[in-house]
Amino acid sequence: MPRPSRAEAEAAVRTLIRWAGDNPVRAGLHDTPARVVRAYEEWFGGYARDPATILGRRFERSGYDDIVLLRDIPLHSTCEHHMAPITGVAHLAYLPGEQVVGLSKLARLVDAYARRLQIQERLTVEIADALQRELQPRGVAVAIRASHACMTSRGTHVHGSAMVTRRLLGAFEHEPWRGDILAVLSA
């Protein structure tokens, strides 16, 4: 499907404003369609980012042979069912093969996949699979804990709940590494 133009996207926002019961040309809303489209460019910028490029610059592991873990990576995504915010944290770990990657690249990988319409389960899988495919480590672990506004701001209005998803690959699927990584992720 061809991507709509900026003018078409702004017209769609004006339609939603009218549907909500307001006037899109009143003073406070006149520039809102353009602001919403600019916000969408940022919120959904992950579609333009390639995980292989993000993880492309690697370094020799220099003899390091244990878990590499980056915890508490801020995560901001959007639920594909209601287009409501998903906020939380991601924890990424891997057992290096021959190479390691800079820590900022792990956070950028999370951000690239999070800035797409998502469900948390697929987000977890996409991040883990990209790490496995690009770094070829001995093991990968990804855990995400997030709150979903589709539950807190509508429907059941359940506040304070969080969904946890995880994916373990390679050595992390089996003992002794499985117990080690699960302990570290839950610490």
Residue 82 known to be catalytic: yes
Task: Catalytic residue, from 82, 99, 132, 173: name it.
Answer: 82
Residue 89: predicted pLDDT: 98
Give 118's pLDDT tier (boundaries 50, 70, 90): very high
| Residue whose C-alpha is closest to residue 13's, from 35, 28, 44, 42 | 35
pLDDT surpasses 80 at 139 = yes
d(CA 37, CA 57): 32
Task: Catalytic residue, from 10, 120, 126, 134: name it.
Answer: 120
pTM score > 0.85 for this model?
A: yes
Residue 24: predicted pLDDT: 97
Residue 30 known to be catalytic: no
Please state the rounded mean pLDDT for residues 166-172: 98
Residue 158: predicted pLDDT: 80
Determine the angle formed by the axes of helices 32-43 and 6-20, rounding to 10 degrees.
110
